[in-house]
């Protein structure tokens, strides 16, 4: 079986497992990433939840543009969901609100609750917060949590299960998920994710300023060649139109992306043999910085760019989709 077939088989098994678990629970806590709360949801879940209590937790709210997150909260409420936002790992205010709400879930006896979401979206961290002590392993790679784990919280039972990877990864969907660390490098590599982020956010002044500040905050870069005025100037070239030597705008696309990564590599000292910029390492460092919020608070999608009522309908796949940022 090829890699694509194996991946589809794994996703189908995960979905069947969640379907079995849903038959045993009274409430569903779905976790999505606040920076892309549409794409980071599972398209299949809504039809599986049925009439159970369904709460949507937007994790990593402290890394997203707060204004855009508020717009998403209103958007989800208008579609019948109960959204809550977390301002960091195991946000105590979020945990407290969830405990109170889940204790009220309709149930014949003690409510049974499942926490679901994509791999690495924050399910185990939330579960540990709800449980009051560490009960599920937390890892930096998608899919670390494995197996069936019941947790007695007092007012209800928690069931933690591996996340459900959405089957549609075409267009920009896999790149959005790659930017958030919700799929592995075998699905979205560092260089193409970096290119996606630079092209998607590069026209925003706040992103350009944050990128320039972040690059200079690192160790001193190797001194550039004296005959290259662009490198000597020190500023990271704009992603949308990297400046040419005679002041002409470079066309938007891959050359501009490479110019940004090359300058970042030089300023961070990420050099290979012969002093050549290591674009792969620069891309990996850049993507990691975005995921950690070192560049600022950026949202990758907005509700006004979503055409459909559920994650089964993707937002536009063009590089110019609306985004927002907050420094």
* More confident position, 317 or 276: 276
One DSSP character per residue, 83-140 reads EEE-SSTT-HHHHHHHHHHHHTS--SSS-EEEEEESTTSSHHHHHHHHHTS--S---S
Residue 189, classified by CB atoms within 10 Å of its CB into exposed (0-12), middle (13-18) or buried (19+), is middle
* pLDDT for the residue numbered 292: 93
31-54 pLDDT, tens per residue? Answer: 999 999 999 998 778 778 888 899
Residues 6+ apart with CB under 8 A from 175: 188, 192, 193, 196
pLDDT classification of 249: cutoffs 50, 70, 90: very low
* pLDDT for the residue numbered 227: 38
Domain 3-167 belongs in CATH node 3.30.565.10: no
Beta bridge pairs of residue 160: 115, 149
- Please state, for a pLDDT cut of 90, what percent of the chain lies above it: 33
Helix (H) or strand (E) holding 315: none
* pLDDT for the residue numbered 163: 59
Helix 279-292 crosses helix 190-201 at what angle (to 10 degrees)? 60
Sign of CA pseudo-dihedral 35, 41, 46, 47: positive
For the chain, domain boundaries: 3-167, 173-299
Go through 118-147 and write b for each residue having 16 or more CB atoms within 10 A of its CB, e for each that does not: bbbbbbbbbbbbbbeeebbebeeebbebee
139-175 pLDDT, tens per residue? Answer: 454 544 455 667 788 889 888 665 565 546 777 889 9
User: Rounded to a whole number, what is the distance in angstroms from the first to the last CA of the chain?
Assistant: 46
For residue 17, what is the DSSP state? H
* More confident position, 230 or 254: 254
For residue 154, what is the DSSP state? S
The two beta strands, 157-160 and 149-152, are: antiparallel
189-245 pLDDT, tens per residue? Answer: 999 999 999 988 888 888 888 888 877 664 333 333 333 433 333 445 555 444 333
Phi, psi of 251 (to 5 degrees): -60, 150
């Amino acid at each position: 079986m090829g890699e694509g077939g194996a991946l589809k088989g794994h996703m189908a098994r995960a979905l069947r497992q969640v379907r079995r678990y849903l038959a045993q629970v009274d409430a569903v806590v779905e976790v999505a990433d606040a920076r892309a709360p549409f794409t980071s949801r599972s398209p299949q879940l809504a039809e599986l939840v049925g009439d159970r209590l369904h709460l949507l937790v937007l994790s990593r709210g402290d890394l997203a543009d707060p204004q855009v997150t508020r717009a998403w909260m209103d958007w989800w409420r208008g579609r019948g969901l109960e959204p809550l936002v977390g301002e960091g790992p195991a946000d105590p205010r979020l945990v407290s609100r969830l405990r109170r709400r889940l204790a009220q879930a309709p149930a014949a006896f003690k409510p049974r609750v499942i926490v679901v979401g994509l791999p690495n979206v924050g399910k185990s961290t939330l579960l540990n917060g709800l449980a009051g002590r560490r009960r599920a392993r937390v890892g930096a790679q998608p899919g670390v949590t494995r197996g069936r784990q019941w947790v007695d919280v007092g007012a209800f039972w928690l069931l933690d299960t591996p996340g459900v990877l959405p089957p549609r990864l075409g267009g920009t969907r896999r790149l959005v998920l790659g930017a958030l660390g919700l799929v592995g490098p075998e699905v979205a590599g560092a260089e193409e994710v970096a290119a996606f982020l630079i092209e998607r956010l590069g026209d925003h002044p706040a992103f350009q300023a944050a990128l320039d500040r972040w690059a200079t905050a690192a160790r001193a870069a190797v001194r550039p060649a004296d005959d290259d005025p662009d490198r000597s100037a020190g500023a990271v070239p704009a992603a949308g139109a990297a400046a040419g030597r005679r002041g002409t705008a470079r066309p938007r696309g891959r050359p501009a992306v490479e110019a940004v990564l090359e300058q970042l590599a030089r300023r961070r000292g990420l050099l290979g043999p012969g002093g050549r910029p290591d674009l792969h390492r620069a891309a990996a460092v850049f993507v990691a910085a975005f995921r950690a919020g070192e560049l600022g608070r950026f949202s990758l999608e907005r509700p006004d760019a979503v055409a459909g009522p559920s994650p089964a309908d993707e937002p536009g796949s063009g590089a110019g989709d609306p985004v927002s940022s907050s420094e």
